[in-house]
Structure 1
Amino acid sequence: MADEKSRDDDVWFAPKRFGYGTGWPIAWQGWVLLGGYLALLLLGSHYVAPKHPIGFGIFVGVLTIAVLGLSATHTRGGWHWRWGGKDE
């Protein structure tokens, strides 16, 4: 029982019903991750992109990889292809 509780505490995102990847956040940590990602993209596009477009592109790539990695590790059932059934 305690094992299941600790796994549920680590879940920030619901899985997509169809397709591959993650759905919407279901915990405050997921919302903070999503909000922080969007805030950093907006700040970077305002302050960095006009002066350093290549640097901004690198920034977006690194930030996106980090967010995808975190969301993949914190999605209930992990990332795999789903066909719309209740598999987990």
Structure 2
Amino acid sequence: MPSAPEYWFPAKRYGWGWGLPTRWQGWVVLIVYFALIGITIRVAPPNYHLSTFILLVVLYSLVLIAVCWLKGEPPRWRWGKD
């Protein structure tokens, strides 16, 4: 009997997308995401390297969305009572 998948990121109760992580792996991903943004602010400050900063933050965000897509509950629009 297969067990239910253990999602790192649960679906939001209202709307589309994912909420805060419920597993330690999800928290690690989220901490690394914010750490990378912090490092980018130090290395390529937005007031000096705006295009580089924006490009890197978009790249980090796309990777975060990909991880949420792969390791999170399947996304769909929710109205609160699921």
Tell me the TM-score range normalised by the shorter chain: 0.7 to 0.9
Query: Among residues 24, 39, 43, which one is paired with 2:39 in the alignment?
Result: 43
Task: Tell me the percent identity.
Answer: 31
More strand by share: 1
Higher helix share: 1
Question: Which whole-Å CA distance do the structure 1 matches of 2:71 and 2:14 have between them?
Answer: 18
Q: CA RMSD of the aligned region, Å?
A: 1.4
TM-score of the aligned structures, taking structure 2 as reference length: 0.88
In structure 1, the partner of 2:29 is 33
Q: CA deviation at 1:66?
A: 0.8
Q: Note the residue ranges of structure 2 that are not aligned, 5 or more in a row.
A: none
Aligned mates of 1:46, 1:72 — CA distance in 2: 29
- TM-score with structure 1 setting the length: 0.83
Matches within 5 A, 1:5-84: 5=4, 7-8=5-6, 11-49=7-45, 51-76=48-73, 78-84=74-80
Deviation at 1:51, TM superposition (A): 4.3
Q: What stretches of structure 1 of length at least 5 have no aligned partner?
A: none
